[in-house]
Structure formats: structure tokens, C-alpha cells
Amino acid sequence: MGEAGQPVTPGARSYRPERELGGFEQEVERLDRQATLTWAHEWRILQPLAPSGGGAVLDAGCGNGAVTAELSAALPGSRVVGLDVHPGLLDRARARGAAGAGPELFLGDIGDTPFADATFDLVLSRYVFQHLPQPVAAARELRRVLRPGGHLVVIDIDAQLWGTAEPDLSGLSQEAYRALGAAQSADGGDRLIARRLPRVLRDAGYTDVTVRPFAYTSDEVGLAALAPQLSPERLLPLVERGAVSMTAYLRAMTAWQSFVAGDGFVLLLGFAVVGRR
């Protein structure tokens, strides 16, 4: 059951890869690049919590399996499982492991998983909770499949605490990105989810809830690597839907192009929120 006693609707979320910029294929590529950007930072947080000498780990909302594969490689003695509600993304995850033994992959929703109670020592959910209309219900379900003493790690964003840029980009792009947040909210998502996650986990019954931020910069990875995350091109589907005006889009794109041409600097923030069963 979800908040206010309402049932969880499998698949109910604001993320649909087919609707992202460039459609499904380009979105799969963006997920790969996102995993490459942040995995090393995430692993530093996950490693002390991961089971040693066996155990089981769940990647809840594994998408195309990029990080599921990283977990499998980093934990060769453990059972690694990926779960995702989108059949097309799960097909890509299966193809990734086709050459040899890899993680187990299941089709299903994190609000209603197919696993028995107390199955996993660690559950990871990356950039999924921002898309869930009932995050407490999902966190409660993931707690059910955790063994006592196991941890849930939710990694996500806060659009108002995304990072910083030099020179400042916010004045010219604020209108467009407010519209992005409003569109996600209308679809049941929340681009400010990171600030709410500590209480989401607490309300779902977790203890020892902590926030562990991490940062990475354009000097480390290059502005081109950050373009799929930051470029106003991501707003084009909203322009087509009428949620963002062409004027706002062009203003944001002009600011971004000037920023790139001037070798601007970006520091991006991510947030891992950890709770223990």
C-alpha cells in the first residue's frame, strides 16, 4: 500500500525513456554516460555497505544495466540482481551480459517487487525516486526485501542544489528549468526529491538515516561529457509539448553555448541517502 493507504500502481512514474530527447536509443546512451560520470563516486559510498564474501545486492530500477554490471564486477562473490519496470531497458541490460555470466535481471516495479522478504543485504536505487509519485511506499517495499541490518542507498538529485557554474548560468536558464521541474511534477515526479529523502526513508521505517553528498566537476570529466545532463537540448521535448516556450529555450541555449565557448566551469552535486533496516 502507498501513502494514505492507496495501492501502488506498478510502472507509475514520470520517466518514460521514449519521451526523452532523441527517443529511446539516445536515452540509453545518456544512461551509459551518466553511469560513467558518477560510478566511482557512488562506489566509494557503497563499498563499505556491500556484503563481503557472498550476500545479495539489488539494483532497484536498474535501467539499461550499466551500474548493475559495475556492481557485478565489483562484487564477484555476491549475488547481484537488477530490477526494472521497462522491458526495453531490461532487454539492453540482458544484452550487456550476454557474453558471459552476469547479474540476474527481473522485470518488475520497485513498488511491488517479486522478491521474498529479507532477500538482500544491500539495495541501491539510482535516480529513480525523483520519478515516483509514492516514494514512501517504494522505500517501504525495498525495506521488506532487505535483511535485518541491511542498507538501502537512494542516489538522486535536488534541482535547486544541482551545483554551481562559473560564470553563472542561472539568470538566463532559470525560466526554462522551472518549466522542466513543473512538467515532471505534473507527471508525478519531484526534482527536489533529495531534500525529502531523509524523511521518506524515516517514514518508511529505516533507522540511522544519513545524507552523503558527492561532487564532480567539468575540469575532471570535460564539458562535453556533461552536455547530456546540462544542455538545454533536453528541454526540446517540453517545447514540443508546449510546456516550455521557444523564447525560453533559445535564451537557455544561447547561455549554454556562450558558457561552453568561454570554457566555463561546472561543479555538480549528487546525493546518496542511506538508511538501515
Question: Could you give the angle at the alpha carbon of 132 between the alpha carbons of 129 and 138, nearest 5°?
Answer: 75
Q: What is the pLDDT of residue 3?
A: 31
Higher pLDDT: 21 or 72? It is 72
> Which range (40-49, 124-133, 238-247) has the least confidence?
238-247
Phi/psi for 49 (5° steps) reads -95, -15
Separation CA 173–CA 170 (nearest Å): 5
Query: Over the stretch 108-132, which tens digit does the pLDDT of each residue have?
Result: 999 999 999 999 999 999 999 999 9
Helices 87-96/66-74 angle, 10° precision: 40
Query: Over the stretch 47-77, which tens digit does the pLDDT of each residue have?
Result: 999 998 789 999 999 999 999 999 999 999 9
* Contact present, 103 and 66 (Cβ < 8 Å): no
What letter does residue 20 receive in the DSSP assignment? S
pTM metric for this prediction: 0.89
